[in-house]
Structure 1
Amino acid sequence: MKKTPNTIISCALTGSVHTPTMSEALPYTPEEMIRQGTDAVAAGSAILHVHARDKKTGLPTPDPDVYGEFLPALADTGAVINITTGGSTRMALDDRLAAALRFRPELASLNMGSMNFDFSAPAARYKEWKFEWEYDWLVGSQDLVFVNTFRQIKHTLTELGAHGTRFEFECYDVGHLYTLAHFVDQGLVRTPMLIQCIFGVRGGIGADQENLSHMVTIADKLFGDTYYLSAFAAGRHQMDFVTASALHGGHVRVGLEDNLYIRRGELAESNADQVAKAARLLTELGREIATPDQARDLLQLKGRDATAI
């Protein structure tokens, strides 16, 4: 792995798993996305990872017009904008790619394999819901496969990569690293790569730090010093993995997409809450917090002027 004294903090603002009933802090209107993204950058985030939601109901949406209501303001913060190509487990690939293809961001996420992706557990915790869609959205995840075939991955690499967009390669298990190695061998992946190892999603690898060590060992075997590591854990292990990734020399991700809490039993008031806590932990470990421009240099990104945001 490539190592640097500067640690990139990515902030995933809203995602497509949590629902509005779970936290008043979860942003879904354009105004909330702009405010929370701006505050997250001020707290130390160099990269903003974005999904979009319907501004009236909070339902995840792939509509590029909705992204367009908040992307320019988020880009004005100076942060690197990382648009999802995962969208949600219910979206077709064309929908998942629509916003990224329109705005041609510096960075986009790319999931490296099909998997079960069960986020139904919170459905049992609530008796009343803010919106009618929420309960079925959660419970229905038990019966869905998050599809990312080899053909789909190649299509994303070629279609979006043709615009100079680089990728955050999301790996939810060890096999996803080998899938990435296949596309590296085909010459479809530029280096240095940003590999995001993800832990704690039901259907993926568990949030055990031994698994992080194993993923790093395999990534080092497959890719040597051609990649940067980033890692995060969904849910209550979020901050543990901030520390663990940093100790491996990697970068980190936090945000309300991944975890709604700031500590056990206490909901985070905003994405910036989590970014600020991660920045404090990293500083105590002797790590410098990367600025957006330092992140661009490390990842060899094309810059905002080459995007359509």
Structure 2
Amino acid sequence: MTKKQRTIITCAITGAIHTPTMSDALPYTADDIAAQAIEAAEAGAAILHLHARRPQDGGVTIEPNAFAAFLPRIKQATDAVINISTGGSLKNTIEERIAPALKFSPEMCSMNMGSMNFSFHPLAKRYDTWKFDWERDYVAQSDTYIFRNTFADIENAAKALAPHGIKFEHECYDVGHLYNLRFCMDIGLFKAPIFIQFIFGILGGIGPEIDNLIFMKRTADRLFGDDYHWSVLGAGAAQMSLATTASQMKGNVRVGLEDSLFISRGKLAESNAQQVTKIRRIIEDLGCEIASPDEAREILGLKGADSVAF
């Protein structure tokens, strides 16, 4: 019998875009981040992609101590692969953004593959009142942000993190980022096999159409051959449809409240686990199987949970 495909589900728990006003389900205290991460793993997420928040008001923080408040708890309660973001705040240097990964030496961390306009300012018009004072300006002024990831930034991050044996989730928001990644491989910064996260639907990046997914996949095939694994992140309303399509193209998927606050059109998700449960059901109903954390480690060639520093 033909062996069924194993699909890796990543769950991005809280991120740095959405704010507490937008959803009561968005976790920002260490207790809530840990609880939702553990529930997402129990629902079937093999990888947990993690950002930190200020517990008093939900603001974005990249302070290592904020990660320390929940990382050991998640590791103790689940065998999921922990992936620490190096995106963090759009206003910080790359040295500041990689500090948590340097301190905790996770199995995985994100690696953004190019600079871009990165905006979510249209969301500011949806709310008349805000839970915390910082939220409105943070959202409304995102049209002034440039998400900086120069070649020098990428090289500095890659070299600093290389001794830790971390597998990168190469986040590619547009087709040019794939060429950036190929260049970085050619100069020796990254070695095959690599793991690419195709990202669709962020204002400033490539749009969330299936034609674009096919185009990105064909481009990656041409640039990397068989030397890569891939996953799809669809932002907002594109989350479930693009994840479903990716799973049927033998790709992997990413869901979570970082990427979308909704479970269906117009209905807010109750938790990260609810999104994981939904995409798992879709994947299994369509004849595939989800990967366990240990299967994800084998597929991606990870160093193992016993080699992290938390």
TM bucket normalised to smaller: over 0.9
Q: CA deviation at 1:249?
A: 0.8
Corresponding residue for residue 39 of structure 1: 39
Aligned to 2:156: 155
Aligned twin of 1:193: 194
Q: CA deviation at 1:4?
A: 7.6
1:224-252 CA deviation, whole Å, 9 max, x = no partner? Answer: 00101101110001000111111211000
1:124 aligns with 2:105: no
Measured against aligned partners, the alpha-carbon deviations of 1:173-207 in whole angstroms (never above 9, x if no partner) come to 00000000001111221221110000000000000
1:247 counterpart residue number:
248
Structure 2 unaligned residues grouped into runs of 5+:
none
Q: Distance in 2 between matches of 1:232 and 1:99?
A: 23
Q: Take 1:72 and 1:292, find their aligned partners in 2: how far apart are those partners?
A: 17
Query: In the alignment, is the contact (CA less than 8 A) between 1:238 and 1:254 conserved in 2?
Result: yes
More deviation in 152-161 or 24-33? 152-161
The structure-2 alpha-carbon separation of the partners of 1:196 and 1:4, relative to structure 1 and needing over 3 Å to count, comes to farther
Identical amino acids, percent of aligned pairs: 51
Partner of 1:108, secondary structure, is strand
Q: Deviations over 1:25-58 (max 9, x none)?
A: 0000010011100100010000000000000110
Q: TM-score if structure 2 supplies the norm length?
A: 0.98
Alignment match, 2:217: 216
Contact persistence 2:4–2:289 (CA under 8 A): no
* Alpha-carbon distance between aligned partners in 2 of 1:121 and 1:71, rounded to the nearest angstrom: 33
Q: How does 1:131-170 map to 2 (within 5 A)?
A: 131-170=132-171
Q: Which residue in 2 is equivalent to 1:54? A: 54
- Higher deviation after alignment, 140-149 or 84-93: 84-93
> Contact 1:4/1:249 (CA < 8 Å) preserved in 2?
no
In structure 2, the residue matched to 1:70 is 70
Unaligned runs of 5+ in 1: none
Number of positions where the alignment pairs a residue of Structure 1 with one of Structure 2: 307
Q: Determine helix, strand or coil for the equivalent of 1:86.
A: coil
Task: Name the structure 2 match of 1:288.
Answer: 289
Segments ≥4 residues shifted beyond 2 Å = none
Residue-by-residue CA offset, 1:246-301 (whole Å, 9 max, x unaligned): 12110000000000000011100000000000100100111111000000001110
| TM-score (norm: length of structure 1) | 0.98
* Distance in 1, Cα, partners of 2:217 & 2:266: 31
Q: Helix, strand or coil: the match of 1:256?
A: coil
Q: Distance in 2 between matches of 1:161 and 1:133?
A: 36
Q: Distance in 2 between matches of 1:35 and 1:293?
A: 21
Aligned-pair Cα RMSD in Å: 1.0
Quote the residue 1:86 is aligned against.
87
What letter corresponds to residue 155 of structure 1 in structure 2?
A: N
